[in-house]
Amino acid sequence: MEPSATHRAIDGVWRIESARLVAGLTRVVRDVSVAEDLAQDALVAALQQWPREGIPTNPGAWLIATAKRRGIDALRRRVTLERKQELIGRELQIVQQLDQPDLMAQVDDVQDDVLRLVFMTCHPVLSRDARVALTLRLLGGLSTPEIARAFLVSEGTITQRIVRAKRTLTQARVPFEVPGRDELGSRLAAVLEVIYLVFNEGYAATAGEHWVRPALCQDALRLGRVLAALMPREAEVHGLLALMELQASRLRARVGAHGEPVLLADQDRARWDHLLVQRGLAELHAAEQLGGALGPYALQGAIAGCHARARSVEETDWPRIVALYDGLAALTGSPVVELNRAVAVTMAFGPEAGMELVDALADEPALRGYHRLPSVRGDLLVRLGRHDEAREEFLRRRSLRQRLRARAAPLARSKLQRVSRACHARGTPARERGGVSPPAKADPRSGGRANRPSCPDRPICTISLRRLSVSCGLVRRVSRRPQPLRNHSEDNMRKLILHMIISTDGFVSTEDGNVNPAAHWSEEIQRHYTDLFDRAGGVVFGRNLYEQYVGHYSKVAAGEISAETDLAPEDADNEHFVASHLAWTKRLMDMDKFVVSNSLSPTTPAIGVISGDIEAQIQQLKQQDGGDLLLMCGPSLFAVLNASQLIDEYMFYVYPNALGRGKHLYRDVAAPISLTPERSVPFADGMELREYTPEYAA
């Protein structure tokens, strides 16, 4: 066999065996980090030996025997070399565990071990990002570069995320076990969430050039199928798998000839993948056969199943979809589900019935600012022949957006929404809409379609993600124990990076204390921010900026303010942009945040408050493990930290205007500052990012 074929074969063996190998080893050594190291050692050995000697008859057994042997050798060497007492104790214990002759016999029980491993990598003690990375790595058998490519972040980010996740699991002494009945429901929900997050990132990518990434969908499907085999008695596992199979069956038909998204109603159903449809329907059947009320995934899967069974929009079993939405609404209580339900009611029972429901939703506070409400309403009015009212509704939709923007401005968000057309023109195409599209112009080719609301292809995934992220927010706090202080050399201390939006004349805010009105979100800036915040290990805020910034974006992340309202009106339909903005706000909420304030008391355990000896505390923060820290503050804190030489890099976001008055960046700076220019990045909307290193840090 030529080397490349051997390597592909080793890849294949790894995909087949790695989860079982890591799971089996974890059970023996009781430490996922040690187990993965041993498994990786075995892989390295395989890559050295197999091309020479051929692939062994039983590669799985070879790998585990090698992992065991290498583990014993390496640990014994270290035990001899090192004299740290507690390390010796622990590692001797591992050697003894590995040395048991019946290790292979124990590993017969591998299927259960894989299941235990799933619950470990999806443990709530980890952040959502960490769960996803660790699960793909340990259960999906993906390499770090593969995960980094899939999520379009740097390899370093993923490596660090995985290392930290494993350390957290060890420190928190997360047991290697399937949770008991009392907590199985919530823990299983966390596992399903991770798989669905992977799927959704593939199905509706929030980053990158392409708005679907099928490879991620395949990985999620594979994890889902493995889990369904491991937990055949859990209806929601089958429900999630059904949902994913059915959604994936439409992937091919969702993209038009020129890469544009195609709405469900307009999709060529012959292009649906009928193998996946059959798999999805079979899973749905399995979920229903288990009895009991269907959970949220199974209900969504069942709705997708109704679409999958129908040969056309007209032949769709709309009354059943209405009934399923009833169940979903009862479970989620979400007004957005109610809105989708109203669309289904329209399809099943006519526009009058739908109108009644939509009117009842008109005063729903959670839908205030949700531009699809007037959009659905306008659509229904067109169908009812009430064209004047429909026009009003569409005007309302527009003014609603504008009013929201105007109201948001005094909140002094750091970004306003005017967006450069240049950016927008290059932007990713608007996504296939989850709700109802605005009325199409009458098109003779589409027959009756023009007056028909498009049916929701992705009924409620936004909601479920929102709900899930809320629950994540709660459990995330568990992991926010202070990280242990470690001795670092100066070199690998994490950096404090100033992030400052200024005008060309150096003002950070207007006279009224608002952020530069030229600042706004463009898709290009969003990409930059997504990357920047993904790489950062935390944010240090001045108090004012913290209250404005986190105050606003926490509401966006929680769904209290819809993400569209942060963007320019012409971008509100760009679902890719909206989704990546929302994902960024969630990332911001998920990050470690520190507020410098002498008055603020810690209102929530998720926020560190820095007061008193600010310099010493920031210094200490910089010595902790993790990614670099972003600094977002006003002139006074900037002056203090600059004087104490704590800022390692400056990032100025210079907007092409002059304010003349307001808060000046150097207002409180006593001595001149010398800077070495590092990089300058022009953005299409005229903003220029200028990066400098202060002389003291150079």
Partner 1 sequence: MHFNGRERVVIDGPFTEAKELIAGYWIWECASREEAIEWLKRAPFDRGEEVELRLVDDARERLTGETQV
Contact residues toward partner 1 (CB under 8 A) are 5, 8-9, 11-13, 15-16, 55, 57, 59, 212, 214-215, 217-218, 248, 251-252, 255, 271, 273, 275-276
State the minimum distance, in angstroms, from the CB of residue 15 to partner 1.
Answer: 6
* Nearer Cβ to partner 1 (116/213): 213
Give whichever of 126 and 142 is closer to partner 1, judged by the CB atom: 142
- The nearer residue to partner 1, 214 or 319, going by C-beta atoms, is 214
Q: Which is nearer to partner 1, 159 or 218 (CB)?
A: 218
Work out how close the CB of 10 gets to partner 1 at its nearest, in angstroms, rounded to a whole number.
8
Identity of the residue, 16 or 362, whose beta carbon is nearer to partner 1 in the bound complex: 16
User: What are φ and ψ of residue 554, in 5° steps?
Assistant: -65, -35
What SS3 state is found at 150?
helix
List, in sequence order, every residue forming a beta bridge with 608; answer none if it has no partner.
594
Q: How far is the CB of 12 from partner 1 (least distance, A)?
A: 3
What gap in Å lies between CA 695 and CA 532, rounded to an integer?
23
- Smallest gap from residue 573 Cβ to partner 1 (A): 24
Asked if residue 692 lies in contact with residue 672, where contact means CB atoms within 8 angstroms, the answer is no
When the beta carbons of 16 and 406 are compared against partner 1, the nearer one is 16
What is the nearest approach in angstroms of partner 1 to the Cβ of residue 257? 9
For residues 672 and 695, give the distance between their C-alpha atoms in angstroms, rounded to a whole number: 11
Q: Cβ closer to partner 1: 152 or 578?
A: 152
Provide the CA 588 distance to its chain's centre, in angstroms: 11
Compute the least distance from the CB of residue 253 to partner 1, in Å.
8
**Interstrand relation of 507-509 and 663-664 (parallel, antiparallel or unpaired):** antiparallel
Residue 20: partners with Cβ closer than 8 Å, 6 or more residues away:
60, 107, 110, 113, 114
Q: What dihedral angle (degrees, nearest 10) is formed by the CA atoms of 141, 142, 143, 147?
A: -150
Paired tokens of 542: 């001045």
- CA-nearest of 603, 631, 590 to 499 is 631
- Do residues 303 and 283 make contact, with C-beta atoms less than 8 angstroms apart? no
Between 282 and 600, whose beta carbon lies closer to partner 1?
A: 282
CA distance 601 to 430: 43
Q: Identify whether the C-beta of residue 272 lies closer than 8 Å to the C-beta of residue 255.
A: no
User: From CA 496, how far away is CA 578, in angstroms rounded?
Assistant: 29
Residues sharing a CB contact under 8 Å with residue 415, sequence separation 6 or more, in sequence order = 515, 519, 520, 521, 525, 566
Kindly state the smallest distance separating residue 19's Cβ from partner 1, in Å: 14
**In terms of CB distance, is 212 or 404 closer to partner 1?**
212
Shortest approach of partner 1 to residue 239 CB, angstroms? 21
Q: Residue 218 or 619: which CB sits closer to partner 1?
A: 218
In the chain, the amino acid numbered 345 is V
Q: How far apart are CA 625 and CA 621, in angstroms?
A: 9
Query: Rounded to the nearest whole angstrom, what is the least distance from the CB of residue 222 to partner 1 in the complex?
Result: 8
Residue 18 CB, shortest distance to partner 1, in Å, is 12
For partner 1, the closer of residues 275 and 395 by Cβ is: 275
Would you say 243 and 300 are in contact if contact means Cβ atoms under 8 Å apart? yes
**Rounded distance between C-alpha atoms, residue 34 and residue 167, angstroms:** 10
Are 42 and 12 within 8 A, CB to CB?
Answer: no
Count of residues making up the chain: 698
What minimum distance in Å lies between the beta carbon of 9 and partner 1? 4
Task: Give the distance, in angstroms, between the CA of residue 213 and the centroid of all CA atoms in the same chain.
Answer: 14
CB 307 within 8 A of CB 455: yes
Residue (11 or 177) nearer to partner 1, CB: 11
- The CA–CA distances, whole Å, from 323 to 226, 262, 505, 649 equal 30, 26, 61, 57
Tell the smallest beta-carbon distance from residue 38 to partner 1 (Å). 21
